[in-house]
C-alpha cells in the first residue's frame, strides 16, 4: 500500500427553492418546493488498484427533493423530503472479507407540523419505508424511526 498524494476532483451543485404560496397566491395546498443536486468526480477510483478508507469513497451524487403542502386541516402542514445518495468505491466486509460495492439508495422522510403563532408541534418519520442501507462502509444505518417535538419561538414581536 502507499499514500495517495494527489486526487483531482471536480464538482457541480444546483439548488432551487420556491415559496409556492407566493408564486401561486389563492391556493392553499402547495406551500413550498425545493431541490438540491450535487455531483463530485474524482480522477482516481478504488477500481484502479488504490486502497482507500475515506478518500476514494466520496459521495458521488446527492439529491434532495423537498415538498411542503397543506393537509386540509387548520394549521397543519406536511413536509416531505426525498433523498438519493450514491457513494463511490467499496468496502471489505469484516466477517467474510468479501469486497462489497457501495450501493446507491433512496430515503423518504415525512414531518407533520401543527403551527399556531409562536408554538409548533411536530411528528416525524425518518426512513419512512424502512430502507436497509449502509452509508459509509459496512455501518448499517437505522431503519424507520419516529420522533416528535415541540418548538416555541420566544422572539419578540
Contact 85, 61 (CB under 8 A): yes
The predicted pLDDT at position 53 comes to 63
156 pLDDT exceeds 60?
Answer: no
β 99-101/90-92 pair status: antiparallel
In percent, the amount of the chain with pLDDT more than 70 equals: 90
Contacts of 92-99 with CB under 8 Å at 24 or more apart are 93/138, 94/138
pLDDT for 33 beyond 60: yes
- Chain segment 118-142, per-residue pLDDT in tens: 999 999 999 999 999 987 778 889 9
- Residue pLDDT, tens place only, 77-89: 999 999 999 998 8
Taking the model in full, what pTM does it have? 0.84
DSSP letter at 22 equals H
Amino acid at each position: 500500500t502507499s499514500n495517495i498524494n494527489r486526487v483531482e476532483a471536480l464538482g457541480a451543485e444546483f439548488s432551487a427553492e420556491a415559496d409556492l404560496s407566493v408564486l401561486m397566491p389563492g391556493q392553499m395546498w402547495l406551500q413550498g418546493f425545493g431541490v438540491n443536486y450535487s455531483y463530485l468526480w474524482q480522477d482516481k477510483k478504488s477500481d484502479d488498484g488504490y486502497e482507500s478508507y475515506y478518500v476514494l469513497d466520496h459521495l458521488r451524487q446527492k439529491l434532495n427533493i423537498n415538498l411542503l403542502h397543506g393537509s386540509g386541516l387548520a394549521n397543519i402542514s406536511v413536509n416531505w423530503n426525498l433523498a438519493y445518495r450514491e457513494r463511490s468505491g467499496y468496502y471489505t466486509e469484516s466477517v467474510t472479507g468479501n469486497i462489497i460495492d457501495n450501493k446507491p439508495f433512496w430515503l423518504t422522510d415525512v414531518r407533520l407540523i401543527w403551527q399556531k403563532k409562536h408554538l409548533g408541534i411536530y411528528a416525524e418519520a425518518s426512513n419512512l419505508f424502512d430502507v436497509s442501507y449502509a452509508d459509509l462502509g459496512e455501518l448499517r444505518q437505522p431503519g424507520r424511526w419516529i420522533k416528535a417535538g415541540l418548538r416555541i419561538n420566544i422572539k419578540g414581536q
